[in-house]
Amino acid sequence: MLPLDVALWAEHVAKILKDKELWHSLSVNALRSVDEFTPQSAAMGIVDAIEYARSREAVSRSSVRANSLDRRGSDYSPVS
């Protein structure tokens, strides 16, 4: 990734525009990269993120419960 330098970006863009082989190579590579992104893979990414968040929430809750019980002592019995 290039630094945020307008002159440097302009130089690289001009190089791509002037070099047809480079343009073609970058285009082919871009199309290959995009092939990986399908509606199915996007949906699975969302499902994975939700499952991860839910597992972290469960770990967090169990940790809070354990700490709460430790502070109350072993004779604590919760009301149902």
Residues 8-54 have pLDDT tens digits of 999 999 999 999 999 999 999 999 999 888 999 999 999 999 999 99
46 HSE (CA, 13 A, CB side): 6
Residues whose CB is less than 8 angstroms from the CB of residue 9 and which lie 6 or more positions away in sequence, other chains included: 2
pLDDT at 71 over 90: no
Confidence at residue 68, expressed as pLDDT on a 0 to 100 scale: 61
Confidence at residue 9, expressed as pLDDT on a 0 to 100 scale: 96
pLDDT-based confidence at residue 73 (cuts at 50, 70, 90)? low
pLDDT above 70 covers a percentage of the chain that reads 74
Confidence at residue 36, expressed as pLDDT on a 0 to 100 scale: 84
